[in-house]
């Protein structure tokens, strides 16, 4: 068994009821595949099972698809990645936003972004018939518009205590990005915002308040082991045990909740454990974390 390889699949269903007329569709959300040599073929089996069970009309991939941009150059990892992307795109229109692991390195992340990672991702997505969203909208089904934001180095690059570059989460950088964009939302349609890390300050949530749905990945569910996650779910608790940045009890780690009068927030826990991000005593919990996908079904508040 691999250290960060979950041993069971969970397909979590959510229903969002809209006040506007909406198409009768379902959206499958997945991500955080973290493909590398230590991820076995079992992940692809889980993904295929999830696609078969969910039977989605649209699929969202929320980033950190590989553990490092170096995996895009590794033949075995690239084969795994393309196989899993095709599992999705063969089933339904599929879109992808990138996470920090997809394009950054710890030594020189900005150069990695500019010189190699993004051109490779564009080529891979084109070959696999996946829509790569780089600060743009996509309407695969009439009446539902997805806006995918690429979190650049302002969101994902920080300095550790020794002054070295590292992956980070910066809500101020995220807000700076958002303020550069003029979202043109059609209130007659469902407007769904997609990005990787939920860098959710009050200012960020306010900026995104015009969207009906916000969805993110990155959290790995707060590394809540199988069994305990079901208890939390029954109690309506979205809290995790540890965040990818080693912060205890992260408040938004999984599930769905309202963050405004008409905005719902969805956090998908992802397909893998958090691997070495957690303290060593908690790393073993990755063995019993489920590989999770989220499925959102649309409904209307009047029942139609």
Question: Which pLDDT tens digit goes with each residue over 180-212?
Answer: 998 889 999 999 999 999 999 999 999 999 999
- Residue 72 in any domain: the answer is yes
Average pLDDT on 210-216 reads: 96
- Residue 1 in any domain: the answer is no
- How many CA atoms within 13 Å lie on the side-chain side of 30? 31
How much is the pLDDT for 48?
Answer: 97
What is the percent of the chain with per-residue pLDDT over 70, rounded to a whole number? 87
pTM (two decimals): 0.91
The domain of 123 spans 9-300
pLDDT above 70 (res 6): no
Q: Taking the CA atoms of the chain, what radius of gyration do you get in angstroms?
A: 18
Q: Best-predicted range by mean pLDDT among 1-15, 122-136, 217-231, 260-274?
A: 122-136
What is the number of domains present in the chain? 1
- Residue 2 in any domain: the answer is no
Of residues 159 and 273, the one with the higher pLDDT is 273
Average pLDDT on 7-23 reads: 88
DSSP labels, 221-270: GGGPPTTHHHHHHHTT----SB-TTS-BS-S--SEEEE-SSS-EEEE---
- Residue 247 in any domain: the answer is yes
Q: What is the DSSP letter of 206?
A: H
- Residue 238 in any domain: the answer is yes
- Residue 4 in any domain: the answer is no
Q: How far is CA 131 from CA 54, 92, 118, 169, 267, in A?
A: 20, 11, 13, 25, 21
Strand bridging mode 131-132 / 136-141 = unpaired
What is the domain-level CATH number for residue 190? Answer: 3.60.21.10
How much is the pLDDT for 1?
Answer: 44
Contact criterion met (CB below 8 Å) for 260 and 205:
yes
- Residue 288 in any domain: the answer is yes
- Residue 109 in any domain: the answer is yes
């Amino acid at each position: 068994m691999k250290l960060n390889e979950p041993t069971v699949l969970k397909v979590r269903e959510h229903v969002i009821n809209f006040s506007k007329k909406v198409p009768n569709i379902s959206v499958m959300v997945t991500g955080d595949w973290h493909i590398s040599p230590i991820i076995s073929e079992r992940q692809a089996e889980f993904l295929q099972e999830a696609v078969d069970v969910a039977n989605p009309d649209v699929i969202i991939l929320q980033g950190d698809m590989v553990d490092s941009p170096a995996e895009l150059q590794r033949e075995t990892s690239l084969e795994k990645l393309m196989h899993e992307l095709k599992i999705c795109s063969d089933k339904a229109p599929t879109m992808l936003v990138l996470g920090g692991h997809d394009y950054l390195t710890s030594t020189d992340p900005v150069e990695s972004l500019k010189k190699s990672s993004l051109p490779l991702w564009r080529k891979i997505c084109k070959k696999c018939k996946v829509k790569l969203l780089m600060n743009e909208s996509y309407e695969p089904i009439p009446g539902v518009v997805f806006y995918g934001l690429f979190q650049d180095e302002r969101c994902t690059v920080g300095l550790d205590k020794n002054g070295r570059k590292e992956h980070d989460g910066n809500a101020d950088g995220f807000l700076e990005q958002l303020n550069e964009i003029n979202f043109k939302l059609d209130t007659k349609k469902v407007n769904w915002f997609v990005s990787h890390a939920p860098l959710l300050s009050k200012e960020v949530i306010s900026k995104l308040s015009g969207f009906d749905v916000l969805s993110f990945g990155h959290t790995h569910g707060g590394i809540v082991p199988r069994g305990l996650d079901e208890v939390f779910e029954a109690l309506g608790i979205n809290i995790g045990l540890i965040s990818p940045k080693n912060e205890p009890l992260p408040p938004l780690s999984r599930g769905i909740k309202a963050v405004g009068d008409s905005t719902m927030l969805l956090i998908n826990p992802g397909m893998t454990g958090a691997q070495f991000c957690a303290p060593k005593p908690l790393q073993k919990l990755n063995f019993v974390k489920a590989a999770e996908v989220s499925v959102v079904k649309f409904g209307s508040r009047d029942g139609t």
